[in-house]
Structure 1
């Protein structure tokens, strides 16, 4: 659920982690899940189905998204949309003026315009079944526009454990890859995107 603390703004859960206030309810658990899935689908996977004109960098008009949202969910409004964005610990979305986009996770064809990654090393978690293939052929996106790599060992393990109980970590020589023309984009503090990472920049950690 999402609630609003009078002192610290929106938060997820039953009480504000900063002051313990329960605040006022904005979205219950079911509404949070349903609206979250709608926003993800609209900004990552099927904007055309909702009449959203997405530009090459993934941006859509915020008001048009709100209109599409209210058509499907009569109880939804812009405040509830903003509460989803602001309380999201993974920072999946960003708003700029009257535009909104997903930071990562796209299956539609977008050309994200983030700054180049500045970290010399990145990490990717894989299952034991797939690691040999990745080391041989490189890491390519599956059902997504970009490969999602992690900026730390801890984050790579956290992501990999969603799919496997026994993840294997792959070290990525990002500095060398970028020197040789592999584009890597900093989507968030923890996620770097790439279209493909060739095998010569990979090794087991």
Structure 2
């Protein structure tokens, strides 16, 4: 990290902490344990040696003011970790399975929709797919990557089909993947991140993903009896 970076701005400090605690701890010569914890004094020392003018007070302020509570300090204040979002192989956070709300949300950019329609949601370089409990949070996540799209996830049905869900310490819902037929609808945000329609998720055309209910309605018998509800596909992620 050439030059001396400002370590007093909480936003800059937060981005720095995300980088080293989630993705590249080796960039400043620190190691994380299996649960993602790093020695705080060592992190500050190595950050300063690498050109980031960092203090304990600045770190504590970044932790306190993080809008999504991205980081946690240990009870004794000697260690720090990111709550979730890791891509480094050093970390394998353990979470207890939790029953999710019936519906969850995922924010992404509109350029990703074609791939999501075909493959669903996969973790990519992260360990889990990240889901939000409310649309507003998902919209903010999607807006960071381009023109925001909010996906509605049928998490209740996935859970009933024994697909595991976890909840991080800062309230982010995590799962291994989401199949295309477990994504019910999507909502495209207009300029400034505001929905193009009213604040609802039912853009039925052309933005509706196929759902089991859609397929079921086309297979009803002539006497009005319907087939059993089709379970969403929950299997291993495709290779690559």
Q: Same fold (TM over 0.5)?
A: yes
Which residue of structure 1 lines up, in the alignment, with residue 88 of structure 2? Answer: 108
Query: CA 1:99/1:181 → structure 2, altered by over 3 Å: closer, same or farther?
Result: farther
- Over residues 48-103 of structure 1, what are the superposed CA-to-partner deviations in whole Å (9 max), with x where a residue is unaligned? 23332212221222222222123235753212211111121221101113321111
State the secondary structure of the residue aligned to 1:31.
Answer: coil
**Retained in 2: the 8 A contact 1:58–1:102?**
yes
Which residue of structure 2 lines up, in the alignment, with residue 121 of structure 1? Answer: 103
1:170 aligns to 2:151 (yes or no):
yes
What is the distance in 1 between the residues matched to 2:103 and 2:144? 22
Query: CA 1:179/1:55 → structure 2, altered by over 3 Å: closer, same or farther?
Result: farther
Query: CA 1:82/1:138 → structure 2, altered by over 3 Å: closer, same or farther?
Result: same
- Over residues 166-200 of structure 1, what are the superposed CA-to-partner deviations in whole Å (9 max), with x where a residue is unaligned? x3332112122233343322125552122312223
Larger Cα-atom Rg: 2
Which residue of structure 1 lines up, in the alignment, with residue 27 of structure 2? Answer: 49
For 1:1-205, what aligned pairs fall within 5 Å after superposition? 31-32=8-9, 33-73=11-51, 75-96=53-74, 97=76, 98-109=78-89, 110-117=91-98, 118-165=100-147, 167-188=148-169, 190-204=171-185, 205=201
Larger strand percent: 1
Which residue of structure 2 lines up, in the alignment, with residue 8 of structure 1? Answer: none
Structure 1 runs of 4+ off > 6 angstroms? none
Bigger Cα displacement from structure 2, 176-185 vs 94-103: 176-185
- Over residues 17-71 of structure 1, what are the superposed CA-to-partner deviations in whole Å (9 max), with x where a residue is unaligned? xxxxxxxxxxxx7732543333222101111233322122212222222221232
TM-score by length of 1: 0.73
**Retained in 2: the 8 A contact 1:139–1:196?**
yes
**Retained in 2: the 8 A contact 1:182–1:197?**
no
Which consecutive residues of structure 1, in runs of 5 or more, have no partner in the other structure? 1-28
CA RMSD of aligned residues (A): 2.6
What is the distance in 2 between the residues matched to 1:196 and 1:125? 14
What is the distance in 2 between the residues matched to 1:74 and 1:47? 14
Bigger Cα displacement from structure 2, 96-105 vs 30-39: 30-39
Which consecutive residues of structure 2, in runs of 5 or more, have no partner in the other structure? 1-5, 186-200, 202-240
Bigger Cα displacement from structure 2, 169-178 vs 67-76: 67-76
